[in-house]
Structure 1
Amino acid sequence: MKLLHQSLKDTLLDLVFPQQCLVCSKEGKLFCAQCSDSLSYITPPVCTLCGHHTGDDGVCPQCMSGKIHLDGLRSVFNFEGGIAQAIYALKYHNLRSVAPLLGTFLADYLKQNPIPADIVVPVPIHHSRLKYRGYNQSLLLARELCLHTGLKLDEHWLERSLSSAPQARAKSRTERLENVKNAFIFKYPTTTTPRVIIIDDVATTGATLNACAATLKEAGALSVWGLTIARER
């Protein structure tokens, strides 16, 4: 019912205040045709683990030297330009109408680049941040992805038990890893060993997604992949 009310609210707002391009402010769509063409997609070759653009195929040096719990991490765009503006608007300016478009990008990517999965799990945020923001942007993206792909969503499997500082404030990879250490717990014991895709908005070092994967693997997940809208270069 909440989703229906939000959808009706967004529709009415669009009628009163028509959508504008997030980049050039042209009326009509969140990305006009010209600005949509300028979005920076991540293209091969990429690291087979973290999905970071590299000079050649294979595992990048950073993944070779670290403890990776993820079976793989993929992102659709580089975190810059219009995509960065869209994510920022969704995350910090309550522009939830951006979520359907970004979720469609995820769904289109997954259709073109299949990842074996039984269930989709959004990266959770701490209840204090959820109370402050009013929603979890990763959950909004995960819902849209599942709507377009038919994958099963479970928003309750993971819980963020520690209220650490936002990852964006952590400057180094070491700080980011420490920031999310033991931050997540698995809430519901299960006898199944599903293949999981974790959804988040942005990957920087992948520390948050890797911490989620560690918790899910410990709980018995067969495989865990991360999928985000964007990643920092």
Structure 2
Amino acid sequence: MTFFYALHAKKTKQVLLLLSVAFFTALLLFTQNSTSIPVFSQKDSPKAIYKGEKGIALTFNIAWGDKKAAQILQTLIRHKTKATFFLSGSWAERHPDLVKKMEEHHFEIGLLGYNYVDYPSMTKEEIKKDLLKAQEVFKKLQIENVKLMRAPTGYFNEEALNAAKEMNLTYVHWSIDTKDWKNPGADQIIKKTAEAKNGDIILMHASDSVKQTNSALPHIIKATQSKGKLVTASELLSNGEVKTQSIQ
């Protein structure tokens, strides 16, 4: 019996040790995942913003087509909702009437480059050239103070962030991707945005490839408004601390 108790105590200690290790490992992983991390490890490297602190920002990328953009714009106007549109310069050039309408109704406008190109495959100077071309379009349309940007394809690297920094632009990513361009069904788009909470930046699209975004939008607006104030991306970034995340 003495041997049994000694053996039992030894096993108990081993189990407790394993449980302790598992607990502290889980705690460490949770802490790491909950902390804001710079995009690149260098202290002074440029950063991409993926989250704010107060409010929820609806953002839309547009690169082609006008039918869905017009519908979505009208839905936002009808619901008196703030939003930020990231527009490609080539699209804005072809649809100046819609750009003007966005401006008239006080929607925020950001750059989505000029051409639909992949920034990680380009040099910093090539990226700046694409962004400058887009800026020229907005100047001609008398759209001033465009300070936000995204990469046309959504993919970016340090060269893109350095280009943004040198041009006094803020790179805005997102914390919730609805993947509405896949047309998964309005219910799935609504379900994805139901995860939103204060500080989140929601990515949607208003190009003609999205077939279900506009029908989902009234539900999204109602749900997000109940969780926090809907704001532009710039307002979200100025309402408190912003968060950055590393590129995987």
Normalising by the smaller structure, the TM-score range is: 0.3 to 0.5
TM-score, normalised to structure 1, is 0.34
Structure with the bigger percentage of helix: 2
**Which of structures 1 and 2 has the bigger CA Rg?**
2
